[in-house]
Structure 1
Amino acid sequence: MHTIEVVLAMLVAVVASGYLVRILPFSLPLPLVQIGLGALIAGVFKRGHALEPDMFFLLFLPPLLFLDGWRIPKQGLFRDKGAILELAFGLVVFTVVGAGLLIHWLIPAMPLAVAFALAAIVSPTDPVAVGAIASRVPIPKRLMHILEGESLLNDASGLVCFRFAVAAVMTGSFSLAQASLTFLWVAFAGLGIGVAVTLGVSTFQRWLWRSFGEEPGAALLVNLLIPFAAYLLAEEFNASGILAAVAAGITMSYVELTGRISGSMRVQRTAVWSTVQFSFNGIIFVLLGEQLPGIVQRAMDTIAVTGHSDWWWLAIYVVAINAMLVVLRLVWVWLSLRWNLLRARWRGEERANQTSWRVVLAMSVAGVRGAITLAGVLTLPLMVPGGEPFPARDLVIFLAASVILVSLLGASLLLPRLLRGLELPRDDDSRRVEDLARKLSSKAALAAVEKTRQQLVEGQTTTNVQLYNDAAARVSLLYQRNLEKGQGPDEDPEMVRRMEQAYRSLRTAGLTAEREELFRLTRHGQIPDEVARKLIRNLDLLESRQRD
């Protein structure tokens, strides 16, 4: 019964957090509010929920990583693949070595292999945390694409380094060759399995639709189960389930481009996935808050292993480790940028604008840690093979949790100041591509309308011909506006913008009035419920399209 109460309390905390960030007089990122509510739940129930890392990985991470891979802009991902790979793999190794040595120097009582394990588990950034920060901070699109791509790929490299550091503690040996081969298998097998699962399930599902018809509820459930299937299958083959879930999501975005899914199903699927994303993101950080009181208490009890007894030494360790992580990231980002500029000059490419130092610093501060770090560090063994306790286990868990909190807080406080007033190039190309897409799709629509009109009027009476012609004219007018929009040489862009705003306001007012009248008619029993639901859903879809 206690577990059910805690789960319900977590869901209530997730709902409450969404309102608290709006009510509070000062601005706080949503994850920090959820962490605070989680700590409050642990205090009320006198103990936090016992977190099982394997269950945590399986239940929460696959769908969230799948969705991130699905929605991440692919053009930006492949355009900046060099920078993303340098951060996702090169920076992880650089952080493990650099931070591991510095942590061992800072805390000599912590064995070197344990220090490397701590550095490895805090090296990957978290896509959930990055997305939560981005929702409140105006991060430039290209920078955000790089951060998202990095956080999706660096989990595998960080966890592999963590696994081998822990193995070194347990066995007392380490093989670089074996670690390299294992990493290659973990990464490439995980990616391959993720792609294969999505393609296989999608192909089988299309065959079912062609043979027996489309069942929206079952199709939606299958879509929700794909990330779990990819994750479990990859883990069964000792590959990266995390990369498998990411690859499955990226593959799903390409499957969707085939256009074989109905619009109504896409609307339902978007609503369901948005709910899953909000709920799971919130529960992750509420769970972190629930673990905090116990983590802090155990760290206080074991601080003596460092040779100190005062609690403020923990604060010194936290500040020092976070500072070294930011500095190492800053150094790597700067070196990577200089190297890319040098390569561009060798290829004869002209780079008119150098990247602002504030963007480089912002990219360093934006390395937010989250769920991957928490779940990974909690998998540390309790004892080594000889029966002795794992060295400094509680201290490592405390330091990793502190890195999550400080990185979230630091990004929330510093990013707005670093990016405030920063003049970035206008994204005119994106606007131009969008206008071109609208015009080309409108031309295709006009041609299809005319072809369908000709088919419909064949052999019809004069009355029906006139009806079809009027309907075609009304539909064609909608698409003609896209072709003519902004094409006049003397047309005032500001006038066009105001006209569009007025059109949307008037259209929204009309839709609202229609909906209110349908509600009134239903309340008075003048129309059946099922008719009202159908008509209101149509109005809702029109309104959602109006807002896009």
Structure 2
Amino acid sequence: MYSIEVVLAMLLAVVASGYLVRVVPFSLPLPMVQIALGAVIAGVFGHGVRLDPEIFFLLFLPPLLFLDGWRIPKVGLFRDKASILELAFGLVVFTVIGAGFLIHWMIPAMPLPVAFALAAIVSPTDPVAVSSLAKRVPIPKRLMHILEGESLLNDASGLVCFRFAVAAVMTGTFSLASASLTFLWVAAAGLAVGAGVTWGVSLTQRWLSRLLGEEAGSSILINLLTPFGAYLIAEHLEASGILAAVAAGVTMSYVELSGRALATTRVQRAAVWDTVQFSLNGIMFVLLGEQLPGILERAAISVQETGHRSGWWLLAYALAISAILALLRFVWVWVSLRLSLFRARDPGEPLQRPHWRIVAAVSLAGVRGAITLAGVLTLPLLLPDGREFPARDLVIFLAASVILISLVVASVALPRVLRGLELPDEPAEQRKEDRVRREAAAAAVAAIERTRHALSAASAADADLYANAAVRVMANYQHRLEDSAVPGDVDAERLRAADRAEVALRLAALQAEREAIFRLAREAEISDEISRKLVRQIDLMEERYR
């Protein structure tokens, strides 16, 4: 019963954090609020929750990585693949090696393999943290796509490096040749398992839907279980469950393009996944806050082993490691951009230098978040011989501190660096959207005509009824086709303003409809069943316009 109460308290803290972050008088990152609420929970309940690292890893990471892979913009991912791969793989290895040696030099009491594990787990950037930051900081879209692509891929590379480093601590041995071969197997097999599981599940689900019909609740539950299935199968085959979850999510984005899922399933599924993402990210930070008092106490003991008596050395280590990570990232981004400009230049042209603000923006936007936290909390409690894992609490404290420092620094410094900075935007993005709208409207008009003729042929007596209905339905599409034919950027902007006005009017009308239905239900003029049915239809229409 106690565990259930703690879990409910954590979920309540996640809910409260969403409101508190909006009422604080200054801009405060959401994870900091959640950590503070977790510390409050620890004070109320008196002692922390004992975590099983493997269960924690299984519960939190597969769905988050799956969702990252599913929602990543694929066009930007493939267009800027060179820059993304350099950041996602090259920078991770550079950070693990460089930061690992520097951390071990700075904290001799931390064994070198443990220092590598800490460097590996703080190397990945977090897409959720970057996205939440983008809501308050106007990050250019092209840069945002690169950061999202990097955060998706470096989650996998950083966590795999972390696993190798932890294995070296547990066994006391490490072979680069053996690790390289193992990495090739776990990567290739993990990617294959993730893609295969998603395709297999989608084909089975499609067959069952054709045979028995589709139930939205069952489809959503299957979708939620897919990342866990991919992860567990890959781990059973001694492959990377992390890469399997990512590959399953990327494959899901292509399965989604088939458009076979019902509209109501897609709407409900998006809401469910948003809730899962918000809850899992929030619980991890609340859990960190709940364990923070004990972690601080044991981390201070680890610091004393280095010969330092003052607890302020914890802060000094955290700031130093954050500075090391920022410096390594700045150097890598600068060199990477120089190489990209060198490859892109025409023969005989002088080499352009990357603007320092672009380098600074990419460096500052490397925010750490939930993936780092989830990974570091999975550190084993004991070594195979029964001794405690060396400097475990110090590693957890330093990783959590890096997360907070990166969030605060990015929130403060990134808006100033990005102010007035222009980057190459998505090519002709608005024109592409207008063309797609035009083609979709033309397809809709043709489908309405075909359906009207089919209905009229089946019932000649109602031909006028079908013709009038077709005219009403086609009016909006004809309006879209006529508007899209008007040339000129000014006219196009006026038409988009007209579209926004139309949306505002439609939303007002839908709100009035909903209020009228609720009023009739309160007055018992209609049943609850009719009320729910009509309101759901209005909600779906409103979701479409929003």
* Superposition TM-score tier, normalisation by shorter sequence: over 0.9
Please say if residues 448 and 470 of structure 2, whose CA atoms lie closer than 8 Å, have aligned partners that are also in contact.
Answer: yes
Matched AA of 2:28: L
Distance of aligned partners of 1:199 and 1:414 in 2 relative to their CA distance in 1, 3 Å threshold: same
How far does residue 459 in structure 1 lie from its aligned partner after superposition? 5.4
Matched AA of 1:280: L
Please say if residues 344 and 350 of structure 1, whose CA atoms lie closer than 8 Å, have aligned partners that are also in contact.
Answer: no
Work out which of the residue numbers 473, 481, 484 in structure 2 matches 1:475: 473
Distance of aligned partners of 1:219 and 1:170 in 2 relative to their CA distance in 1, 3 Å threshold: closer
Please name the residue that 1:33 is paired with. 33
Please say if residues 191 and 247 of structure 2, whose CA atoms lie closer than 8 Å, have aligned partners that are also in contact.
Answer: yes
Please say if residues 368 and 407 of structure 1, whose CA atoms lie closer than 8 Å, have aligned partners that are also in contact.
Answer: yes
Aligned to 1:138, the other structure's residue is in SS state coil
Once structures 1 and 2 are overlaid, which stretch shifts more, 396-405 or 529-538?
A: 396-405
Distance of aligned partners of 1:375 and 1:498 in 2 relative to their CA distance in 1, 3 Å threshold: closer
Matched AA of 2:408: L
How far does residue 401 in structure 1 lie from its aligned partner after superposition? 2.0
2: CA distance, partners of 1:252 / 1:124:
23
Distance of aligned partners of 1:74 and 1:307 in 2 relative to their CA distance in 1, 3 Å threshold: same
Please say if residues 53 and 375 of structure 1, whose CA atoms lie closer than 8 Å, have aligned partners that are also in contact.
Answer: no
How far does residue 141 in structure 1 lie from its aligned partner after superposition? 1.7
Distance of aligned partners of 1:389 and 1:465 in 2 relative to their CA distance in 1, 3 Å threshold: closer
1: CA distance, partners of 2:214 / 2:139:
40
2: CA distance, partners of 1:385 / 1:33:
37
Please say if residues 376 and 396 of structure 2, whose CA atoms lie closer than 8 Å, have aligned partners that are also in contact.
Answer: yes
Distance of aligned partners of 1:543 and 1:336 in 2 relative to their CA distance in 1, 3 Å threshold: same
1: CA distance, partners of 2:269 / 2:507:
24
Q: Confirm or deny that 1:136 pairs with 2:136.
A: yes
Aligned to 2:259, the other structure's residue is in SS state coil
Please name the residue that 2:402 is paired with. 403
Please say if residues 518 and 531 of structure 2, whose CA atoms lie closer than 8 Å, have aligned partners that are also in contact.
Answer: yes
CA offset digits 1:150-201 (Å, max 9, x no partner)? 2222233223323333333344432110111111112121111110000001
1: CA distance, partners of 2:221 / 2:41:
32
Matched AA of 2:472: R
Aligned to 2:305, the other structure's residue is in SS state helix
Please say if residues 92 and 124 of structure 1, whose CA atoms lie closer than 8 Å, have aligned partners that are also in contact.
Answer: yes
Stretches of structure 1 lacking an aligned partner (at least 5 in a row): none
How far does residue 515 in structure 1 lie from its aligned partner after superposition? 1.4
Matches within 5 A, 1:212-223: 212-223=212-223
2: CA distance, partners of 1:492 / 1:160:
53
Matches within 5 A, 1:98-497: 98-345=98-345, 355-384=354-383, 388-427=387-426, 429-458=428-457, 460-462=459-461, 464-489=462-487, 492-493=491-492, 495-497=494-496
Matched AA of 1:484: E
Matched AA of 2:503: R
Distance of aligned partners of 1:150 and 1:454 in 2 relative to their CA distance in 1, 3 Å threshold: same
Matches within 5 A, 1:2-41: 2-41=2-41
How far does residue 393 in structure 1 lie from its aligned partner after superposition? 3.0
Please say if residues 11 and 279 of structure 2, whose CA atoms lie closer than 8 Å, have aligned partners that are also in contact.
Answer: yes
Please say if residues 14 and 283 of structure 1, whose CA atoms lie closer than 8 Å, have aligned partners that are also in contact.
Answer: yes
How far does residue 455 in structure 1 lie from its aligned partner after superposition? 1.3
How far does residue 76 in structure 1 lie from its aligned partner after superposition? 0.9
Please say if residues 156 and 187 of structure 1, whose CA atoms lie closer than 8 Å, have aligned partners that are also in contact.
Answer: no
2: CA distance, partners of 1:146 / 1:459:
54
Please name the residue that 1:502 is paired with. 501
Matched AA of 1:98: G
Please say if residues 326 and 364 of structure 1, whose CA atoms lie closer than 8 Å, have aligned partners that are also in contact.
Answer: yes
Distance of aligned partners of 1:34 and 1:454 in 2 relative to their CA distance in 1, 3 Å threshold: same
Please name the residue that 1:525 is paired with. 524
Please say if residues 193 and 230 of structure 1, whose CA atoms lie closer than 8 Å, have aligned partners that are also in contact.
Answer: yes
2: CA distance, partners of 1:361 / 1:82:
19
Distance of aligned partners of 1:389 and 1:500 in 2 relative to their CA distance in 1, 3 Å threshold: closer
2: CA distance, partners of 1:425 / 1:352:
19
CA offset digits 1:357-408 (Å, max 9, x no partner)? 2222121122222333333333434454565544333322322222122122
CA offset digits 1:78-115 (Å, max 9, x no partner)? 11222222112111111111111211221233332332
Distance of aligned partners of 1:350 and 1:74 in 2 relative to their CA distance in 1, 3 Å threshold: farther
Once structures 1 and 2 are overlaid, which stretch shifts more, 301-310 or 352-361?
A: 352-361
Give % identity. 67
Stretches of structure 2 lacking an aligned partner (at least 5 in a row): none
Aligned to 2:422, the other structure's residue is in SS state coil
Matched AA of 1:243: L
Distance of aligned partners of 1:543 and 1:355 in 2 relative to their CA distance in 1, 3 Å threshold: farther
Once structures 1 and 2 are overlaid, which stretch shifts more, 405-414 or 329-338?
A: 405-414
How far does residue 327 in structure 1 lie from its aligned partner after superposition? 0.3
CA offset digits 1:464-486 (Å, max 9, x no partner)? 11111111111111111221224
Distance of aligned partners of 1:95 and 1:211 in 2 relative to their CA distance in 1, 3 Å threshold: same
2: CA distance, partners of 1:209 / 1:290:
44
Please say if residues 373 and 399 of structure 2, whose CA atoms lie closer than 8 Å, have aligned partners that are also in contact.
Answer: yes
Please name the residue that 2:71 is paired with. 71
Please name the residue that 2:51 is paired with. 51
How far does residue 332 in structure 1 lie from its aligned partner after superposition? 0.7
Aligned to 2:28, the other structure's residue is in SS state coil
Distance of aligned partners of 1:384 and 1:278 in 2 relative to their CA distance in 1, 3 Å threshold: closer
Please say if residues 92 and 120 of structure 2, whose CA atoms lie closer than 8 Å, have aligned partners that are also in contact.
Answer: yes
Alignment RMSD:
2.3
2: CA distance, partners of 1:440 / 1:267:
24
How far does residue 354 in structure 1 lie from its aligned partner after superposition? 6.7
CA offset digits 1:101-157 (Å, max 9, x no partner)? 211221233332332222122222223333332333222222222222222222332
TM-score, structure 2 normalization: 0.94
Please say if residues 338 and 353 of structure 2, whose CA atoms lie closer than 8 Å, have aligned partners that are also in contact.
Answer: no
Matched AA of 2:239: A
Once structures 1 and 2 are overlaid, which stretch shifts more, 106-115 or 313-322?
A: 106-115
2: CA distance, partners of 1:389 / 1:365:
36
1: CA distance, partners of 2:50 / 2:333:
38
Matched AA of 1:316: A
Matched AA of 1:468: Y
Please say if residues 305 and 392 of structure 1, whose CA atoms lie closer than 8 Å, have aligned partners that are also in contact.
Answer: no
Matched AA of 2:504: S
Please say if residues 122 and 373 of structure 1, whose CA atoms lie closer than 8 Å, have aligned partners that are also in contact.
Answer: yes
2: CA distance, partners of 1:217 / 1:169:
44
How far does residue 250 in structure 1 lie from its aligned partner after superposition? 1.0
Please say if residues 66 and 246 of structure 2, whose CA atoms lie closer than 8 Å, have aligned partners that are also in contact.
Answer: yes
How far does residue 26 in structure 1 lie from its aligned partner after superposition? 0.5
Matched AA of 1:480: Q
CA offset digits 1:202-257 (Å, max 9, x no partner)? 10111111122222221121111111111111111122212111111111111111
Distance of aligned partners of 1:326 and 1:349 in 2 relative to their CA distance in 1, 3 Å threshold: farther
1: CA distance, partners of 2:143 / 2:363:
11
How far does residue 47 in structure 1 lie from its aligned partner after superposition? 2.1
Please say if residues 88 and 151 of structure 2, whose CA atoms lie closer than 8 Å, have aligned partners that are also in contact.
Answer: yes
Please say if residues 438 and 484 of structure 2, whose CA atoms lie closer than 8 Å, have aligned partners that are also in contact.
Answer: no
Aligned to 1:26, the other structure's residue is in SS state coil
